[in-house]
Structure 1
């Protein structure tokens, strides 16, 4: 009798398991990114000509392109908000940039436009990648399933399955719908649902979930839920709904945004009118007012709220961690102590051999025992088998050929190695 060696597990996955299939959002597929790129290229080209001492019309046209490409969308949004009798920060940014141009600081205004356009593009990209990471979970569910009928087997789209259908799930296939095993014994990799790194044995009467991977045995599964109401589909829906929530910091910024913008406009008018009333020239008064508006522009405050949170959520999603909302991400930043009680949550999700302990009186040392176990496990695809074989190879042990190999779900393997029965 050869018993299993002890193992440890480690996995960087949350309860949603390993990372979903990665969908890459093409940056230039986003309109915000294209306009921001045009504005940035035009600004950098204009800056180069400006610093090189080129004629002003040459770089002036490029700066104008940067103004238009990066500013038309915020200006449109600001005007729409103004039509609804609200003063939007987007419009304030555009006014500040145009004010800079009015006092001869065209470069400063173009830079402000480029920064604002780039921040919008980054926010759009982070939002798109977050959505891709969440929806990528749906790709785990198979497109088709094998349905058993009175006339035999038929392959049907998984979306057309109905409650009560009987499915045949062959070894290595993904389960097409949530349901219950009615016949067969196997193991299922449920990491995408529960986060558990090791397969779970499934017998008649056990529940199985859509998108989970069947192991070595064949299962007959009775569909218990509509595919649109499966556990994995509900996870996606919940995360998408929660991702629309706003963090406390963002809610605070939005709360004061209107008042802040109105205050800046009022203060700018005062900075312009008061010196003018005391005899200052129109040019100097306008220069002072526009300088004040540019400095007081709240773009830094706006850029410091949602874009970093969205970027963090998107990065987490690409690594298999689904963050429910910006609220959760912001609270995560306040954590100074974490207590974990679940193996496989922050570890690698791959078993490793840590110790080999021969039974007293067996006549085997650790290397001999490990070599026997590796030889018996070598034909198996089980994660523990891969760990045992990998440990033997790491020690440079010879893995002898095995005969009579048999795998029993939930119990292990048996084989004959060098005339010895290993099980």
Structure 2
């Protein structure tokens, strides 16, 4: 399990944008408690070995071996007893019992060797888990320890970054890290925000632009108004989500744990039978007990238990370092099963920053282009939809005075309604015209003219009567065609485009990206219906959307990914995974990574089963030496654990890309 993030850590020095998105932290080996106990047990074992082999008096080596049993076996033994109190049979306890059984019949060296190897394998697992946590917690190293807060009288105070509050104004000097998520009030500079958005080059930031905690300021000075609590910053939420993911279990792991309990009971029963039956038949005590203890060791399902979670957790950590937040091991396992992808259009395949290209007041409306745009901008001003922001931006560009709106209502996939200067203004899709399109031929003609080149038409109505049509255009994201092709290669099927936009605009974009299956002019509930059709056809569907109007579809899919828009709240809450950097290429990469994780799980289960079956057969058919059984059992456990953690490396992500 990933450990809680360390707080109060000093900030590292600023770095230039580079290939590695997150600084790597590496836990020192002896900083892990299990490794300290294992090292102590190993040292004591080495000290006791010479006098034991030289047949020195027992008082020279017996206390040392007793200390080996205590230091290496106390932790697992106590944990096993605690589990037993909860009516759970822990394999750790069985290992300790086997070691004590060996010692009871005079095999002190063999029992101590079992304790040392068992403690060492446990330490390796703990270190690997800590390294997994390091790869995610390293994100917190990006956050500065302090920030320069400006008081109301203009004086400057150096305060801990964690004490910043929403509304505070901070000063960010050249070369410093931004202390909190916020918006630039004054100044201009270039900011290296590769760790958040994935952009390889610094981005120019001016008044009104958003900045994120932990990003590196360039040569200018910025005044920033804090807009998020430090505990709710993008970086903090990334770490919290990945740590939460580490506390969940995949279905495969849950199945293994259910089987483990029954298997462990059967293994104990087999051990007792292997000991009792030969004794009743007149066998000698010592070799019979050793054989039974060896059976208990080699039949223990340690490697099987460890087969599932390390690959999935390693994949979650690696994806998190590269800007894809997978919320649980269940989600990572499901991502590896995806064989169909449904893609939203606006904000997903496109940049989500459309612009107004056409303004058509209807004849007889009495409105000019500026008047029509003013009405639309006033009604859309409270909305956060990309089309609404484009209309408001166009009005600002023309220098128009936009009146305030009242009684604002937004209906997902339909449009908005508001009261402007006492009049009801509606802005929405031509498909939602009262009475249908046929009853408004002038609107239909204007909309068709706009939609012909693949643009989106938006109808503006005043007091229920259409007064004009706006044309909107958006651009595909950089790398969108390559991402669509990669999704086709990974899943074996071409993606499906599901959008509320008009068929002409959808077809125009689909032709650019190489998408053939197009479902356009959909309301949010219609997208859910499309996904249900795909799932009923036996497809495991991944829905990719921007987390706003796509929320019902994101929830209805087999699994879902949201384009996070730097961690928007709705995206984080709705989707199973979030692409923080809004980079489409990471979606096929995380699908490939999830498939790698599933392959490693299968590999691990096969390796564990082969070792257990082989060692058990050897013990039952012949005489398996206890030290060799210990080495085979613990070696397979370590091998399985390390095999799963191969996905922690950056090369694993590069292969997935």
> CA-to-partner distance for each residue in 1:5-40, whole Å, 9 max, x for gaps?
xxxxx9643xxx2325x3x53333333222111111
Pairing 1:12-411 to 2, within 5 Å after superposition: 12-13=19-20, 17-19=21-23, 22=25, 24-157=26-159, 158-247=161-250, 250-283=253-286, 285-302=288-305, 324=326
Q: Quick one: structure 1 residues 44 and 312, their matched pair in 2 at CA, closer, same or farther if it must change by over 3 Å?
A: farther
CA contact (8 A) 1:42 1:63 kept: yes
Aligned length: 330
Return the structure number with greater relative CO, CA threshold 8 A, min gap 6: 1
Q: Quick one: structure 1 residues 328 and 48, their matched pair in 2 at CA, closer, same or farther if it must change by over 3 Å?
A: farther
> CA-to-partner distance for each residue in 1:118-157, whole Å, 9 max, x for gaps?
1222222233333344333223222332333442231232
- Following the alignment from structure 2 to structure 1, what is the Cα–Cα distance between the partners of residues 246 and 72? 27
Q: Quick one: structure 1 residues 280 and 126, their matched pair in 2 at CA, closer, same or farther if it must change by over 3 Å?
A: closer
TM-score (norm 1): 0.67
TM-score (norm 2): 0.44
Q: Quick one: structure 1 residues 154 and 60, their matched pair in 2 at CA, closer, same or farther if it must change by over 3 Å?
A: same
C-alpha displacement at 1:42, in angstroms? 1.8
The alignment yields a C-alpha RMSD, in angstroms, of: 3.6
C-alpha displacement at 1:164, in angstroms? 2.0
Q: Quick one: structure 1 residues 39 and 252, their matched pair in 2 at CA, closer, same or farther if it must change by over 3 Å?
A: farther
Q: Quick one: structure 1 residues 313 and 36, their matched pair in 2 at CA, closer, same or farther if it must change by over 3 Å?
A: farther
Q: Quick one: structure 1 residues 12 and 145, their matched pair in 2 at CA, closer, same or farther if it must change by over 3 Å?
A: closer
Q: Does the residue aligned with 1:216 lie in a helix, a strand or coil?
A: coil
- Following the alignment from structure 1 to structure 2, what is the Cα–Cα distance between the partners of residues 244 and 156? 37
- Following the alignment from structure 1 to structure 2, what is the Cα–Cα distance between the partners of residues 55 and 297? 35
Q: Quick one: structure 1 residues 282 and 164, their matched pair in 2 at CA, closer, same or farther if it must change by over 3 Å?
A: closer
CA contact (8 A) 1:134 1:322 kept: no
- Following the alignment from structure 2 to structure 1, what is the Cα–Cα distance between the partners of residues 154 and 90? 64
C-alpha displacement at 1:71, in angstroms? 0.7
> CA-to-partner distance for each residue in 1:285-309, whole Å, 9 max, x for gaps?
4344333323323344455555677
| Structure 1 unaligned spans of 5+ | 1-9, 347-423
C-alpha displacement at 1:193, in angstroms? 0.8
Q: Quick one: structure 1 residues 35 and 99, their matched pair in 2 at CA, closer, same or farther if it must change by over 3 Å?
A: same
CA contact (8 A) 2:172 2:221 kept: yes
- Following the alignment from structure 1 to structure 2, what is the Cα–Cα distance between the partners of residues 154 and 211? 20
Q: Does the residue aligned with 2:150 lie in a helix, a strand or coil?
A: strand
Q: Does the residue aligned with 1:45 lie in a helix, a strand or coil?
A: helix
C-alpha displacement at 1:262, in angstroms? 0.9
> CA-to-partner distance for each residue in 1:78-123, whole Å, 9 max, x for gaps?
1122222222111111111112223333222222111211122222
> CA-to-partner distance for each residue in 1:61-90, whole Å, 9 max, x for gaps?
333221121111111111122222222111
CA contact (8 A) 2:246 2:313 kept: no
CA contact (8 A) 1:147 1:155 kept: yes
- Following the alignment from structure 1 to structure 2, what is the Cα–Cα distance between the partners of residues 334 and 61? 54
